Amino acid sequence: MPLRQRKEIQEMSRRRVAAFLPAVLLIVPAIAGAAIWPDTLGGFHRGAAQSVAFQSNNAVWEEYGFKTGEEAQYQNGTQKFTATAWRFEDPTGALAAFEWMRPPDSKPSNIARWAAETPNVTLLVHGNYVLRFVGYRPTTPVLDALVESLKQLDTSSFPSFIDYMPDQDRVPNSERYIEGPAALQQFDPGIPPSAAAFHLSAEAQLASFRAPGGDIHLALFNYPTPHIARAQTAEFQKIPGAMVKRSGPMVAVILSPPNADAAERLLSLVRYQADITLNERVSTRRDNIGDLVINAFILIGILLAFSVVGGLAVGGVRAFLHRGPRGGEADAMIVLHLQDR
C-alpha cells in the first residue's frame, strides 16, 4: 500500500475516534449515575424514570453534598405511586436535606430513625440517601430489599451533637442543619458567617421553641475542640442582641429573643456531657492475695507429698537389696588400701 494512502486511512480513523469520543464521555456518566431505583419494588414494577435536581438554592444543596437524584413511577395493576431518591456525599448531608424537605405537618415515623410521614407522603433517610414515596407507604421488608440495591451507600454515623438540642417546647419539624455560609444565610441570616467560622469545621443545628411573647430561635454550633468553641464565643457575643452560652465544644446562640427570661431558661438546658472511655486493666484471680496464699500451700503440699513418696521409694529399694543373697554386703564400701603402697 502506498505511503500516501496509508496516511489518509490513518487520518480518517483519527477523525472517527475524535467524533465518537464526546458521545462516549456523555454516555459513561449517565450510566454510572442512573438506575437508583430497582425494576421491581414490593410487587410494583418500575415504569418511567428520570433524573431530578434542585432548581433553587443550589448553593445550599452543594454544601449538603448533593450528588444525584432519580424519580421513578411504579405500578401494580391500578395502583400507582412515585418514588424519588437523592444521594448525598455522606449521611450528614442527607440528614440536613431531610430536615429541609420534611413537610411542616408531618409526623415522625417508626420506619427508620430519621423518617416522617403524612397521609400521602413518606420521607426517610438511609445512610447518604433521602427517599420519598408519594402515594405509597413502604413496609420494612420492602425497604430492606431496596437498601441492598442502593449503590455507593454510605452508612457512617450521623452527627451526635444534635442530640443536645433541648426537647422542651421545641416546635415540631423546625430543625435545620447548617454546614456552611449558604445554609446559614438561608435559615438564620442574623448570624454572620465570620462569627460561625465554618473554616474551623463548624456545624450547627437550628430549632424554634415556643415561649411567651413569640418563638425563640436557637442555633447550636459544634466545634472540633472546646478551645475553638471558647474563642468563637467571644465572636458571637459581639453580635448585637445575642445571648450566648458555651458548653464544652458547643456554643448556643439566641438572637434578640422576644422573652429574655425564657431564652435564659432555654440556654440553661444546653448541657454538654463528655463520654470518656478509659482502658482499665481487668483484675484476674492471680491478683487476689487469697488465691496466691492458697496456691502457695497447695505447692507446699505437692512438694511434701513428692518428698515422702521419693523417700519411701528410695527406702524400699534399699530394703529390697538388703533381702538379697549378699545381705548387708550390698552396701559395703570398696576400699583400695592405697596407703600400704
Using pLDDT thresholds of 50, 70 and 90, give the confidence band for residue 80: very high
Query: Where residue 77 sits, what CATH number does that domain have?
Result: 3.30.200
**Percentage above 70 pLDDT, the chain:** 81
Using pLDDT thresholds of 50, 70 and 90, give the confidence band for residue 225: very high
85 and 173 housed in the same domain: no
pLDDT at residue 3, as a whole number? 46
112 and 169 housed in the same domain: no
Where among 88, 118, 149 does a domain terminate? 149
138 and 41 housed in the same domain: yes
Range of the domain at 44: 34-149
pLDDT at residue 317, as a whole number? 78
**CA atoms of 58 and 84, how far apart (whole Å):** 18
Considering only 25-34, 89-98, 301-310, which range has the smallest mean pLDDT? 25-34
Element (H, E) at 255: strand 250-255
Give which of 174, 180, 204, 185 is closest to 102, Cα–Cα: 174
Q: What is the total count of domains within the chain?
A: 2
142 and 169 housed in the same domain: no
Please report whether residue 92 resides in a domain: yes
pLDDT at residue 4, as a whole number? 52
132 and 170 housed in the same domain: no
Averaged over 297-315, what is the pLDDT? Answer: 88
At 186-220, the pLDDT tens digits run: 999 999 999 999 999 999 999 999 999 999 999 99
Where among 239, 268, 297 does a domain terminate? 268
Taking the model in full, what pTM does it have?
A: 0.70
Please report whether residue 291 resides in a domain: no
Please report whether residue 108 resides in a domain: yes
137 and 176 housed in the same domain: no
Do residues 256 and 302 lie in contact, with contact meaning Cβ atoms separated by under 8 Å? no
Q: What are phi and psi of 50, to 5 degrees?
A: -150, 155
Where among 149, 179, 214 does a domain terminate? 149
> What integer best gives the mean pLDDT of the chain?
85
Using pLDDT thresholds of 50, 70 and 90, give the confidence band for residue 32: very low
Please report whether residue 28 resides in a domain: no
138 and 68 housed in the same domain: yes
Report whether pLDDT(18) > 50.
no
Give which of 277, 232, 280 is closest to 252, Cα–Cα: 232
255 and 194 housed in the same domain: yes
Averaged over 259-283, what is the pLDDT? Answer: 81
